[in-house]
Each structure stands twice: as C-alpha cells, then as structure tokens.
A and B are shown apart, each in its own frame.
Chain A
C-alpha cells in the first residue's frame, strides 16, 4: 500500500446472496486528501462499494484496508474506531426526524464527545454556516426541503471533522443552483479540512468539475476506466464516451434484457 493511499480495495467480491454477485474482483485505491468520484449507471454497485468501505457489509472475498488497517466487520470495537474517522452523507439525508436541524448537527458532538454545550453551540452554528443554513437552525426536519435536508446531513457528517467523507449521490434530486453549490461545497470542504472525499454519483458534469480522480464503473463492479477528469473526457473508449456524453446508443444498453418485442405483444401468433 502506497503512503498516499488512504483506502485500498483489494480483489473484493460481494453479493447479497449466493446467486447474485454485485461486485466481482474489484481492486481500487483512493488517494489521501483527494476528491475521488465513482461514476456509473444505476445498480452498478457504487453505493455497495461505499458500504463495503464503511464496513456496513463484509466482502465475500478480498479485503478493504483503511489507512493500513483491515476493515473487519466482525470486530465491532475496531469498526467503530474506524468509523469515528469517517463521515457519510446518505442519499436521502437520514436525518433524525424527531430532532430539530440544530439538534441533528449537534447529535454526533453530544454523543461522541464531552464538549460543553456552549462549545457545541458554536461548532453547530459554524457547520450550519458552512452549508448556508445557519438561519435554519431552529427549524424542524419536516419544515425543510429535500435539498436543505441534504445540506443539513452534510453539516452533520462533517461535525466531527472526519478524515474521510463519503457522499452517496449528493446531487440527486437537487435543482441546478443547489447542485452547483453542493459541488463547490464538497470541493471547498475537502480543501479546507484536508479530508479525503469519496463521491458516488451519476452526475458527470458536477463530478468532473470537482474531482481529482474519477473511476467509471459498470455492472458487476467492473472498472471501465479511471484517471483525471480530463483523461476521461478525452477518452476514445466507446463505453467511456457514451457515459460521459450521455449518449443513448453504445455498448451500454438502455433496455433491460428481454425477449423479442413481437413475442411479448403476441404478434408472432397471428402469422
């Protein structure tokens, strides 16, 4: 493992059951202090890969290494020690609906530290200010929009200044302004805190604009290509071109495999 590598995915294979494998022999490295985006179509295993890194699931074979230590899902103490160094933004925020915006951000600080309440107050407002929601501190979660919820979740994820921040579809469902702000925020947070950021998304322009390194995945967790955003944009590989340009025709099929249309509509029987 190179010294600048924070996470190493080493020949990982994973499936929720024996019949269906989601990731097949995936090997990847994520550099320390960089923003890495994992791009790919829906269902290709991006979020699963992120969950494997966080130790939510254990790999069927292969290993996940974080900062030189094996992520072992069976050793809860070790796993929790590792998770204290990690912040995760869930696709739908996963905010606690019985708490206010302020209390959601304060939650990890109150649970994981012995900081006095006045200090927690200042940290929470600073984090909320970073995501532009200091004014919404006293609102209930039911009173905020989906985009705001995502930003609150981001403030909560960075409350303890983690070394690794993982973003699961941070741009999904956001309007163009919020999307631009969110992208800029991810980049700024990474640069200011010196954290390592891992973004799972299928929004090509946003990810290309903020990433240092981009990994393109296809079904089964196959790594189609990886490199800098400029390298991927300049790629002549048909699958890469199709994905980054959003073309309907190419190696990646839009339709789920099916029998001939005539057969499904019963046209063959009329002959």
Chain B
C-alpha cells in the first residue's frame, strides 16, 4: 500500500515538475521576444524555413480538402434541395474550422518536428552550450526568432489553406457538378462575415501557432541529447501539439461562435 502511494506521489511530483518547467520555459520565451523582434532578420530567415517550406503540403492538403468537401456537401445538400448553399457551407467549414485546425495539425507534423529535431540536435552537438558560454542567450538568439516566425506563419498558412480549399471546391462545384459560378461566389459574399468568421478563424490559427511552436521548441530544448531522445521528442511534439490544438479548438469555438 505504501509502495503504491510512493509511486503515485513520485509520478505526481514528476508531472508537476514537468508542468512547472514548461511554464518557466514559456515565460522565458516571452521575455526574450523583444530581443527577437529587434532582430527581425532572424525571424524572416525562420519564417522561410518554417512557413515557406510548409507551403507545398499545406496547399496540396487544402486543395484536396476543398475537392472532397465540395463533393460530400453537395451529396448531403442536394437531398434537401439546398445545393446552391454549397459555396457558403464550404467557405464557413474552411475558414472557421478546417483551415485553422488542419493547418495546425499539418504544421505540427511538418514544421514542429523539424523545429524539435533542429533544437534537439543543436543541444546534442553542444551548440546550445556553446552559445551559453559565449554569453549569448540561446532563448533570445535561437528560440525566440523561431517562436515569432511560427506564430506569424501559422495564420498565413491557414489563410492559404482555406483560400486554396475554396478554389478546389469551386473547381468541383462549378466545373464538375455544374453549380452556377455567380451563385457559388455571391452566397459566400453575403453569408460570410469578414470579422466574425474569417477574423475568428485567423485568431484561432494564431493561438494554434503559439501552441505548436512553443511545444516544438520546448520538446527540442528539454530533450535528452541522444538519438533516442531526439526521436522521442519529435514524437511527443506531434502528439502533444495535436491534442492541445484539438482541445483548444473546442474551447475557442465555444467562445467565438456561441452567440451565433
């Protein structure tokens, strides 16, 4: 009985220590932000690495989601004689939910793992220690520019995902199904609110950007400096980021769209 209690106590303490360490890490990261913003050239380099190099997977996925969404929605809507609403349904699905969430999940898999592995290998190769010993704060020089780049890239990627998804849906709806192009666009124009729908979607993706980038950097920074340690850290990045994004999406959706 006492042994069981001791194990439970030790695990609880370890979990609390982990939470505490991650909270301190996040606060340190925020404190280092002014320095990163002062050297925006470092942020631009990271935006290229994080954002630009994620474009192919984001655009390809957005297009595929747009194709499939248009088809599935048409099959459902046509039964109720509401096929002309297809443009609106696709648009709202993409800008409110699928754009931010799928982009965040893809971001965690593509850019998040890359960030974790990069920081983890910098740690294993003693590059982080070398920075420390040169009296250069690695949080300000290495982590903060990546954090800012991730947070800025995510909404841009989500906007592109939604935009290409809508174009994909247009191709299927207008080109394949034969829905009137004017109707497809005008119903979106009248039914989608720029601030409430698009704005909230962008705000969501910014929050997801904070979550995914902070998790990726933390896992890389705290990883055990071994090949196994880096491998586990990249896996933890994807799992933790994805679960946090899905959980946060529910909370944000409830807060943002509850009065609609």
Contacts and interface: CB of A to CB of B under 8 A. Distances in A.
Contacts of B129: 56, 90, 94
Interface centre among B127, B135, B136 (most CB of A within 10 A): B135
Nearest to B133: A88
B126 interface: yes
Interface in B92-145: 125-127, 129-130, 132-137, 141
Number of contact residues on B: which range applies? 10 to 19
B135 A84 contact: yes
A92 interface: yes
Contact of B126 (A76, A83, A90, A108): A90
A96 B127 contact: yes
A81 B137 CA distance: 12
A108 to B, nearest CB: 5
B134 A94 contact: no
A112 B131 CA distance: 11
Contact of A83 (B125, B127, B133): B133
A86 B133 contact: yes
Contacts of A107: 134
A111 B130 contact: no
B136 A94 contact: no
Nearest to A160: B134
A111 B141 contact: yes
Contact of B136 (A76, A92, A112): A112
Contacts of A84: 135
Contacts of A56: 129, 132-133
A16 B136 CA distance: 24
A79 B137 CA distance: 11
A111 B127 contact: no
Contacts of B127: 94-97
B133 A112 contact: no
Contacts of B141: 111
A230 to B, nearest CB: 33
A132 B127 CA distance: 23
Contact of A111 (B125, B132, B133, B136): B136
A200 interface: no
Nearest to B45: A98
A111 B130 CA distance: 13
Contacts of B135: 79-81, 83-84, 112
B134 A54 contact: no
A54 B126 CA distance: 14
Interface of B: 125-127, 129-130, 132-137, 141
Given A56-B129, A79-B135, 9 more contacts: A76-B137, A83-B132, A92-B125, A92-B126, A94-B125, A94-B126, A95-B127, A111-B136, A112-B136
Interface of A: 54, 56, 76, 79-81, 83-84, 86, 88, 90, 92, 94-97, 107-108, 111-112
